Every structure is written in structure tokens, then in C-alpha cells.
Amino acid sequence: MKIGSFQIRTPVPECNEPYVIATLHPWIDVNNVGSMVLDELDMQFRAVKLGRLSKPGDFYDFTRYRPVINLEEGIQGMSIPNTSIRHARREGQNDLLLIRLLEPHAHAELYISSVVKLFKVFKAKKYILLGSMYDSVPHTRPLLVSGYGVGEEASRDIRKVGALPITYHGPSSITNLITKEAASSGIDATVLIVSLPQYVVLEEDYLGKVRLMETLNMLYNIPVNKEDMEKALEQRNLINARMENSQEVRVLLPQLEGVYDMRIKAMEAGGAQGLTAEMEDLLWKIMGKDIGKA
């Protein structure tokens, strides 16, 4: 069955007012946090393949998103980058549709319209885009989650988790139009981004993963994996040990903590319009210094 540019398996399963949970690689998938969350949801709810783009080459440049080949006495297989969607059934609760978005290199309008058409056909109730980005935050404080919601329920969800507002003007991803078009179609749209310390580079960031999973648990009753919490604690201890050997980070850490505390106070005081001039000056001073990598 074709839905836009997607090939969907048949028979098409019935979905119970699904929540679409999406990630966008590589734009907002720092330390692979969003991908790890989708892997977790896939495993927890035993998601099954629903469909993928029938011709991914119409949208992706394979010199930028590289296929992965398996060579052993000839080509045994090749994995081609694609946008896939999986279905997870939850008894007595809204189903989940898990979609791994990739930034399109061509025909972006068709890509976006095809994704939104999927949402409409399966009568999605919510669209939740998850991600992670580097920020001027310290590893010694709880990770911040920023976001915004379009729609009454989505706005209420943002307030419930205490997400900081996102204020940004500059280059972005064309896939932001998916959020806009979904909201215009009557689907509550939410964006949730966890802030990660700029000086911590990890292949698998369990601190970021647990923070987003805690947010999903609060909003949509999705359990947090206890093993992930243990791994997050181990990771924090490892970061602490590494920071002891970084003079630059030890010097800058109190400044990062100061900015963090000011941001929290501004939010609590209702200062959701943005950073104060003092905070912006301090951020620029910190961001202008090379603090290295963990």
C-alpha cells in the first residue's frame, strides 16, 4: 500500500489514536540520544515494521548518508539509509508510531507532505519530536529540557514537564515544517530537546536518554529502564573523574553552574521571553573559550 512516498505493509494494522514519536538525525541527535530513546521504545513495546520510503534515493544523497555494505566472498548485503516507521501497540493506551527522520537533500516538500499524510491516514493524535543538542550547561546539574507545543494539549504537556522555552533565529532543518503542518492538520505537536554539556562527547549518552525517558514517563506513562539509570550514574561518575584532569573545565564549571541557576530562576519568575543581557554576556564568554572534550 502506498501512502505518499511510503510503502506500507499489508494488511494495514488498526491503530488506537497513535502518538507519533520521532527523531531527526543528524541535526538534533547529539550523542545519539534520540536514536537511543527510539531503540528503547522499539524494544519495550516490541514494535513491528510498518513501512519505509519506497525510493529513498529520491530524497537522500548517498554520498552524504552512506550505505553500509557486508562483503564476504562477494556482497552479502547492503543497508541503505531510509526513513522507516514502526508500530508499537500498548494495551489500554494510545499506540505508538516510531519514525526515524533523516534530513532530506532533495524534494523536501514531497518528503514532508508524505510524512504528514502518514499521520493523517493513521489518525495520529500527537506528534512528538525528540532530540538533543549541545548547550552551555554543566554536567553537575540535572539536564535541562527545552521545548514548545502547538495545540492545547501540547502546550499543557510543555508546562507539565517544566520545559524551558526555545528562542532561536537562524539556520534550521526543513523538517520543522512537519511540526507546523501536523499542527495545522489538528494534530497536537510537541518538540522536546535535552541540553547536553558541550564538553561531553559520547557515542551513547545514557544521561540524556534517561532525562528524555523521564519526560515521556511523566507525559505518556512510558516506563524508564532501571538498567539505563544505573548506566547513567556510572557515566556521571566517569565524567566527574575525567573533569578532574581538565583544568579548563574546572575553571569554567562554576560559571556554567551560575548561568544554569540564572536560567532556572528566570523561568521560575516567569521570564520565559529569553535570557537577560547579563546571562547572554556570560554565555558568550563561556562559549568563546575552548574547554575541550571529555
The pLDDT score that the predictor gives to residue 244 is 81
Beta bridge partners of 53: 6
| Structural domain contains residue 255 | no
What's the whole-number average pLDDT of the chain? 89
pLDDT of residue 293: 40
Asked whether residue 231 is assigned to any structural domain, the reply reads: no
Query: What pLDDT, on the 0 to 100 scale, is given for residue 165?
Result: 87
Contact 28, 128 (CB under 8 A): no
Residue 95 lies in a domain: yes
Does residue 84 carry a pLDDT above 70?
A: yes
Q: What CATH number does residue 148 fall under?
A: 3.40.50.10900
What amino acid occupies position 86? R
pLDDT at 278: 53
CA dihedral 225, 230, 236, 241 (to 10 degrees): -160
Asked if residue 249 is part of any domain, the answer here is no
Element (H, E) at 31: none
The percent of residues above 70 in pLDDT, for the chain, comes to 91
88 DSSP 8-state letter: E
User: What kind and span of H or E run contains 206?
Assistant: helix 206-220
- C-alpha distances (whole Å) from 31 to each of 13, 66, 82, 196, 240 are 33, 19, 20, 9, 18
Is residue 64 over pLDDT 80?
Answer: yes
In a domain, 251, yes or no: no
Rounded Cα distance, 81 and 5, in Å: 15
Tell me how far apart the 2 most distant CA atoms of the chain are, in Å.
Answer: 66
- Give the residue with greater pLDDT, 235 vs 264: 235
| Planar angle of CA 43, 46, 48, nearest 5 degrees | 115
Structural domain count, the chain: 1
Which stretches of 89-187 are assigned E, i.e. beta strand? 96-102, 126-135, 145-150, 164-165
Note whether residue 240 is domain-resident. Answer: no
pTM of the model: 0.87
Read off the C-alpha cell for 249: 573545565
3-state secondary structure of 230: helix
pLDDT digits (tens, 9 = 90+) for 88-103: 999 999 999 999 999 9
Q: What's the rounded mean pLDDT across residues 275-279? A: 51
**More confident position, 228 or 285:** 228
pLDDT digits (tens, 9 = 90+) for 200-238: 889 999 999 999 999 999 999 999 999 999 999 999 999
- Decide if 250 is inside a domain: no
Q: 114-127 pLDDT, tens per residue?
A: 999 999 999 999 99
- Calculate mean pLDDT across residues 172-189: 94
Q: Which domain holds residue 22?
A: 2-225
Would residue 276 count as lying in a domain? no
